[in-house]
Each structure stands twice: as C-alpha cells, then as structure tokens.
Amino acid sequence: MTQGTRQHTPPAYVGMSLPRQDGPDKVTGRTRYAGDQVVAGMLYARLGLSPYAHARILHIDTSAAQAMPGVVAVFTATTLGMAQASSLSRVQSPLARQEVLWCGHPVAVVVGETEALAEDGADAVEVDYEPLPAAIEPEVAARPGAPPARVYQEVAANEEGPLAGFPQATAVAAEEGSSNVKQFQPMMLGNVEEGLRQAEVVVEGTYRTHPVHQSYLEPQSVTVAPSPSGHHLVVWSSTQGLFSVRSAVATALAMSEQQIRVEPVPIGGGFGGKESLLEPLAAAVATRLRRPIRLVYTRQDELLAGNPAPQMAITVKLGAKRDGTLTAIQVRMLLDAGAYPNPLAALSGFHFFGVYRCPNIAVRCDVVETNKPGTGAYRAPSGPQTAFALESTVQDLCQQLAVDPLQFRRINALKEGDPNMMRGRWPRIGLLECLEQIQQHPLWVQREQVKQDVPPELVGWKIGVGAAVGGWQGGTEPAAALCRLERDGTMTVVVGSVDVSGSDTAMALIAAEELSLPAAAIHVTHDSTDAMPYSGLCAGSKTTYTVGAAVQAAARDARSQLFAIAAEMLEASMEDMELSDGRVRVKGVPEKYVTLQQIAANTMRFGAPYEPVFGRGRSAKRVSSPTFAAHLAKVAVDPETGEVRVLDYVAAQDVGRAINPAEVEGQIHGGVVQGIGWALFEEMVYDESGQALTATLMDYALPLGKDAPTITPLLVEVPSELGPFGARGVGEPPVVPVAAAIANAIKDAVGVRMTHLPMTPERVLAALIARKEESL
C-alpha cells in the first residue's frame, strides 16, 4: 500500500511468505499449500495495512489497484458496508474508518484472481494520512494529559459473543486521569489495610510484561462460499468455536444465523487466539461479489494484526505473620488492551483470589487503550503474568520470613471448604496434593546438592532451583452430543466442539467407557452448524468437562436404548442387561445375548420392529472444577552474559482423572514450553512511534527444540465431583507457573529478582550489574 502523506512515510515492511509446498496451481496460478482445496471460481483476498500507529485517514484512492490486471475488487470500510461498521468491535468493524489505531490496522481489502495479484493490488492502494500522536507504553498512556489512543469515539458493538456476559470497565473521568483508561470495580475481600497493619512482614514488588503472540502453527485463515443468490453462506474457518463464528458473521451481515453454515475443519492450534477475527470480513466480501473468497494471514500479518496476549504492569504487596500466615494481598494492575476493549480483562483479578487463603485481599485493575493491536486470549488469560507477579513476591516474602517456600505455600494454600469470592465454598481441589508431589521430588529434596552439579559445558555458570504454583478456575458452558448405533455394531458420536487439542480422542474414550466398548469401536465426528449439537468455544479448559459430560450422557442414553431392545429380543428384564465386548447379555447367563450388529439389523432396515438407537446427551455445568499445578525449575545462569538455560523441569498437576494420560502429559509438555517462551524469549516490541520491531520471526523469538529441557509431568488425580469420570480441564494450568518458577530459580542461582518478562540475557545481566553497583 502506498501513502500520500503530509509527513514522511515509514519504511515498508520486509514481507514473509508461507513455504511453498505443492508449487503453482494450474487453475488459479497461486501457490498452493498442503491441505488446500481448489474451489471453482475462488478469489483471494489480501489486506492493505497501515504503516502508522495512529493517523487520521484523509483519503483512500483505490483506482490504481482496481485498474491492475487480475484485481477483481477493492473495498474500504465505506464501500464494503458491514452492518456494524461504526462499532467498537474489531471483528464487526475490521477496516479502519476515520483513523488508523495501530501499525498494521487494515485499511482496505483487495480481491484478486491469485494471492500474488491481490498482494500487488494491496500495495497499489494509495492512502493520504495525517499522523497523530500515538499512545504506546501503557504507563505513559495512563497519565493525565497523555495523547488519546482514539480520537473518534465509536459505539459499543451490538453483538452477543461467548464473552458477552463478562463485567465491563467504566471510563475514568477526564479530570481524574487519562481518557485512555477504564476501570473495573475493585475486587475486595475483608479489609486489606487492616490486614497490612496486622502483618509483621510486608513485601512489595512491581512487575512488567510484554504482549505475547499465541504462535499457533497455522495462521488465521477462512474460506467463504456464498450461494448463487447470496442469501446463504458456507464458511470454512480455522476457529476454536463454530457457533461463535456463525453468530459473528450473522451479526456483521444482518442475516439470520440459519443463513450461515460453518463447516468444521482441523485447525493447527489456537490457544485462545482463534475465536473469530477475519470471518465477518471475508463473509462480507464474498457476499458482495457472490464468489468464494479465501483470506489467509501471513506470519507477518499475524504479528502486525493478530490479537496477542496483553501487556501488563502489576504491583503486589503481601503481608504475613512471622509464623508464615498471610494477612493481606494488595494488587494494582494496569492491563494494556491495545486499540480495543479486552473482554477478558475482568478475569485478571480472580487469579489473586484463586491460590492462597487470605482474609484480606484487594485487587484493582485499570485497562488502558493504546495504539497497538487489540488483545485477546492466550492459554490461561492473564495467568502467566499474574502468577509471575504473585509467586515472585511470595518467594521474596518467604526469604524475609526465613521459611521454606513450599511449606509456606502449604500453610496458605486453598483447600476444600475455604470461602471463595463468589460467596460460596471451594469444592474438592488438589493444590495441596500437587505441592506434596513436588516437595517430595528429588529435585527439591536434593536441591542443595543439585546446585553444585554443574554440567561440564557450563563451568562457571550458577545453578538454581525455583518453585511456583498456579491454577485455573475452570470454565462452564452448556453442550450437547449425540450417539448413534451403526450397522456394523460401532457407535458414532456427534459433537459440536473443535478437535483443537486432541479432544476427540477423549470423547471416544468417554463413550467407550460408558458403553463398555473398545475405543476403536467409537467414531467421533463433527457436522456443520446446521445439524451438529451445540458446543461453545473450545477454550478455557472446559471441552472435556462440558462436552465430555454431554458425550457421557449421550452414550448412557444409547446404552439404555440398547438394553430396552435387547431385553425384548431376549425376553428378559431390562434391569438384567449388561453390555460387554459388543454384546448385550443377561447377567449371569453369558450364553444368552444379542450382538450390537443384530440390534442394528432390527432397527435399520425396511420393516424393522425397533426404533433406531440414537442417544442424546446434554450438560449445563453451573459450577466449575478448578485445577491447579505446582512446578519446579532447575536453571543455569551465566553471570558473565546473563544467559539463562532451563536444565530440568517438574510439573505436578491435578487433572481430576486422566481420560487419556498420554494426551494429558502432552498438554503439560506443551504448556511448559510455551511458559518458557513467556519467561525467556517472547515479546512484541514497538518503538516510540508505534512501529512494530518484531514483525517477523527473524525478530520475534520463540523457544526452539534445544531450549526445551527434560520435562517430568506428575499427574495428580483428585476427581472432580462433576466432570466425566472425575476429569478436570487440563489445558490452561501448565503454562501459568512457568515464568514464576524460572524467575525464582534465577533468584536462587544468582541472587537477583527479575521483574520484567521476558528475562532476556540483557535484562539479567543488567540486574546483575545493578546489584554489583549497589553493593559497592
């Protein structure tokens, strides 16, 4: 995209493209990628992105782009005409209208016969900008007199998404502070000031993080095919929630949800970042042109215009008695939402109520808008940031009290029956059991000896061992499932969830257990939103807990139908039936049975006497099942360069019941590696004008294979009272304590408290130099 600006235009980005897989397509001329399907008449869309973090749009000239061979159409916010184009929702108003709000804000969408032609067309769109002052750093943007991140105030979006029920922040009055700041109602328990007065030791720390991208393997992508009339749309999307995409598209186009059909597709990771982002935009373009449209982000698009985890600044003050009893937890948070409200910000404060038993807690969360991409969810939203702050301060408090850090945590850890923030009581939880597991592990028991065991290649480095805990409240959402008997005696389970983390295997195992069948006899499938049973967003560690419960109920219903038919066929009582090895037999009379194939034959043919076996299951969990993790990290620190290496890692987690132990352990492995990214590598960086300095993977550092240590998962099974067979969610907790455990291990190794994520060699070395200078 070219710009006719009143000021100097920033330099163009260095582009990145996906690797070639199958070569040029003979029909479309575009580069094909593994998994692509050629759709007749397919067009390809590319976005024209703003090079400014904040600027007024004076004029957009699309004539040069439209005149290019192979360019089919160019749309702006004005010409595309989406139903909610003036809303404050990025999903509903994806193209900049009067001003651009971050470096990478889409200004136009160009449609071409190939991706390359669409890209060339996007480069040819000319935009006249008037640069405006940008609000970049959250602490600066929150000060009185800071430049506003948004000049033109939009209206709230009229949409009902999966997060619509969360509390909303209220704007700060102009005379009280910056117009960029909104505040949530403080969360309070007891009297924190009184708790601090009662404390015999008080410790305080301030911590800072950066935005972090979810870094899924497959980028954001969507294909939309309209019907010839344009009155119906079929959507194939890389999303974690099929029904949420349907709702978002229907709202954007002012259509009935029944006019939108979303088809399930395997997706290459999401980690909370793939609820709905590009789908309404692609659907709007497809509707206007009445042609199939495919829109796929490049990796650079992801880093410029994704929805990363938010940057945060957190101050934690803890008070305790000399015997190690907590008396007060006081927290002040500043959450950088980027250019749009963050609906998950309200969750941040709950993390400080969800680990330790303390009579006096006060948490204040301010949300500041800046000229950076709008933020979204990333595995355990706000969990890694808040745990880093809380657990680092807890470790320093233990040092002041001269108490064992794991013993302190056991003294204050939440347990069943303790009061919670919702004026109820904590259910059965496994935090104490997790702490016991790592307290007994050799890495902790022999930590002083471990610290002396320096690998030969790291002579001169310092070794440290650190611990941290964290948890996740768990999620709830209604779900339904179906279970159908097939002619060959196998069962088909139909769910509305997305198999984003191997959850289909868990569904198969739940049904197999309920039906006393081998897992190979269960086929899990996904229909489109036209026919599949409802399921919410596959996020929040709730898929197995909610959809799994519906599958269990559907399998149980199917079993009851099997028993009723078999009882009549065998002339026996339904109560005397049992199912084993694909046969329904009379208890105590194993030779008296009918096979599932026989039952199917009597329910699925012309003139059959029995109704087809078609189990239905529903769940609506009103209470979540919280889950916790306790971690140990062994690190080596080079005092000469500040480099940190994680050498060994132990992760104990309460999983309730491990439906698929290998899959659960895989979740823990992945969460720990992502946590190492939070701790040591990943950060989205912007200069003072808002230019992205980490817009490619050459600059945005991710952990590599060599950075992953030996990870030992310890599965703690404290069954949930409500989960299927006692299962709890497992996806969120593994990432939560990691950065804190590594920070505490660095403190143990070299004696410096790291307060800024990621803990890069430069930051660690600076802390070591500062400590040395203070000691002089």
Identity at 12, one-letter amino acid code = A
Packing angle, helices 503-515 and 548-570, rounded to 10: 30
The two tokens of residue 21 are: 């897989």
Chain center to CA of 109: 27
Distance in angstroms (rounded) separating the CA atoms of residues 689 and 668: 39
Strand partners, 336: 311, 368
275, 665, 683, 732: the catalytic one is: 732
Distance in angstroms (rounded) separating the CA atoms of residues 413 and 578: 44
The two tokens of residue 461 are: 């480095």
Identity at 365, one-letter amino acid code = C
Helices (H), 468-613: 503-515, 548-570, 596-601
| Residue with token string 């529903």 | 618
Rounded to a whole number of angstroms, the CA Rg of the chain reads 28
CA atoms within 13 A on the CB side of 686: 26
Distance in angstroms (rounded) separating the CA atoms of residues 767 and 754: 7
138: helix, strand or coil: helix
Distance in angstroms (rounded) separating the CA atoms of residues 113 and 667: 41
Chain center to CA of 407: 32
Distance in angstroms (rounded) separating the CA atoms of residues 297 and 300: 8
The two tokens of residue 275 are: 């609820």
732 has catalytic annotation:
yes
DSSP state of 626: -
- Bond into 442 cis (ω within 30): no
CB 546 within 8 A of CB 479: yes
CB 666 within 8 A of CB 111: no
How many angstroms separate the first and last alpha carbons of the chain? 55
Name the residues annotated as catalytic: 732
